[in-house]
Amino acid sequence: MQQAFSVDLGGKVAVVTGGGGVLCAEMARALASSGARIAILDLKLEAAEAVAAEIRAAGGDAIGLAANVLERASIELAAAEVLSRLGPCDLLINGAGGNHPKGTTTRETASVADLTETDPAVVTFFTLDPEGMRFVFDLNFLGTLLPSQVFAKQMLGRDGCSILNISSMNAFRPLTKIPAYSAAKAAVSNFTQWLAVHLAPLNIRVNAIAPGFFVTNQNRALLFSPAGEPTARAGKILGNTPMKRFGEANELTGTLLWLASNAASGFVNGVVVPVDGGFSAYSGV
């Protein structure tokens, strides 16, 4: 895999949660091509294995493991497997995350008519399901906290270890319709700063990437019609992205490798780096 620049992650073990997905599979490939041994953890074992097999076929060292980032016992089983097959974790990428329709309102803004809405398919602010909100909050926030608790133990007393969280544009300013995902990613950014401070005496750095808009499995249906035409929401996103396009997954890897390499970013701690074509800088005017 051709990288824009090279960092040496030889001898490092990187654990990538959600590594069976679009963005984190690309991150796993980039870490592998920089010399790291990779453990891909995903709810979907098949997806994790497929990415690991691809990395092995390209000459890298990778294993795919089933793990649920919401269940400590499941993460601990995977961590034991990582330790015995690859060695202790040096880099943890907390990539598993996403939204759910139950944490999503149907319309962008409220109206008085919401109070008398009878269509059960329409979710208003007043009918948002607390369980849906909790699911999204847990997936993104607890799904970052729990793997950090488990894998940071393997980092203790060793140099050059770090944790990289995946935040979002929603963390800076919430997007309409998705209050659960927005609040959860804001929590991820906040936790990144908290954990960076908390683990600093142990020489474990904690940073985050906040991707802008990338077309992946979890948002494809929101961004494109079945015929492949951009939806109104996609048009709004592009209208507010000064570079007027979606990101490509490989455009996250330069920031990833910089933050993963202690030689490159050894004094960078507690930052949330937007990779967004200017979205977070633009006021819309």
- The answer to whether 181 is a known catalytic residue is yes
Closest residue to ligand NAD, Cβ-based?
Answer: 21
Reduced 3-state DSSP string for 74-107? HHHHHHHHHHHHCCCCCEEEECCCCCCHHHCCCC
Nearer to ligand NAD, 246 or 262 (CB): 246
214 SS3 class: strand
Determine the Cα–Cα distance for residues 135 and 98; give it in Å rounded to an integer. Answer: 10
Residues that bind ligand NAD (CB under 6 A): 17-18, 20-24, 42-44, 47, 67-70, 95-98, 139, 143, 166, 168, 211, 213-214, 216-219
Nearer to ligand NAD, 17 or 154 (CB): 17
Calculate Rg over the CA atoms of the chain.
Answer: 19
Count of CB atoms within 10 A of residue 256's CB?
27
Q: How far is the CB of 71 from ligand NAD (least distance, A)?
A: 8
Q: How far is the CB of 143 from ligand NAD (least distance, A)?
A: 6
User: CA 120 → CA 6, 110, 114, distances in Å?
Assistant: 53, 16, 12
Q: How far is the CB of 116 from ligand NAD (least distance, A)?
A: 34
What ranges in the chain are assigned the alpha helix state H? 22-33, 45-57, 72-85, 130-137, 143-155, 179-199, 220-223, 232-239, 253-260, 262-265
Beta bridge partners of 91: 14, 162
Residue 236's identity, in one-letter code, is K
Q: How far is the CB of 100 from ligand NAD (least distance, A)?
A: 10
Q: How far is the CB of 118 from ligand NAD (least distance, A)?
A: 33
Nearer to ligand NAD, 241 or 269 (CB): 241
Residue 48's identity, in one-letter code, is A
Of 137, 151, 181, 191, the catalytic one is: 181
Q: What residues act catalytically?
A: 181
